[in-house]
Amino acid sequence: MKRLLLTFIEEKNQVIIYFVISFIILIFSAFLRSIEKEIFVSRLGNVNQLISIPILSLIGLFCVTVLIHKKWFAVYAGWNAKGLRTAVWLSVVFFIVVIILDWTLRFPREINIPFPRSLLYYPVVGFVVDVLFHIVLLTILIFALRLLLPNISVETVLWVAIVLVALVEPVYQMVAGAATDGWTLLVILTGVHVFLINFAQLYLFKRYDFATMYFMRLCYYLLWHVIWGVIRLNLLF
């Protein structure tokens, strides 16, 4: 624990950046709840985000401090234009794919939160997903795998954990989608698409840092949920 505390102090700039992002997300969620109290129910359940987000942020801070201490991952490793460009291009590619799915197989009309609330809503949801799955769950899984597979190299364990964590969100979405519409082609292809997005994000996390990973999700959400979310209502319905 003393080593983690030392890491917390030595890497205070990364800690500050994480806290700033968390605080901004908390402000966004508080503002949205003041407008529409149940706005997050469909994605984040009935919990009060003003309580759950600070708790999740603190758990995430502990986990990411462990990851930083082990030198496996970082919150912010410094300015990297290449990483940001990669995040943008990946977002564009995934956006094009999801437009094709929407155009040919058609997602439900109400799939997106209406603009302009979407501008604040999706950064909150993205932060929760990235912290819960890509920091907390990833940390737990890495240490579980190291206990179960002590003879496997750390690098191999990290990649196995990345693949397994990348499966969590798509499996959840496919099961939820199949419960409503059955195992349709759209449900299956969406699952594959979401898996690739998560894997790409986790690659960016490992290659660069949390900031780059989260930036990719923000870019994708901006294109898919916000911009296309407005266009599709007039174009497809």
Does residue 2 have a pLDDT over 80? no
- In the block, residue with structure tokens 């499996």: 171
The 10s digit of each residue's pLDDT in 184-223 is 999 999 999 999 999 999 999 999 999 999 999 999 999 9
* 162 pLDDT higher than 80: yes
Task: Count the alpha carbons within 13 Å of 204 in the hemisphere toward its beta carbon.
Answer: 29
Dihedral sign of CA atoms 158, 190, 237, 113 in order: negative
18-28 pLDDT per residue, tens:
999 999 999 99
Give the per-residue pLDDT at 7: 82
Please, are residues 87 and 219 in contact by the beta-carbon 8 Å criterion? yes
Residue with tokens 């990411």: 64
Q: What is the pLDDT of residues 92-148, one digit of tens each?
A: 999 999 999 999 999 999 899 999 999 999 999 999 999 999 999 999 999 999 999
Q: Average pLDDT in the 177-183 region?
A: 88
- The overall average pLDDT reported for the chain is 94
Q: Are 32 and 119 in contact (CB under 8 A)?
A: no
pTM: 0.95
Which 3-state string (H, E, C) describes 8-31? HHHCHHHHHHHHHHHHHHHHHHHH
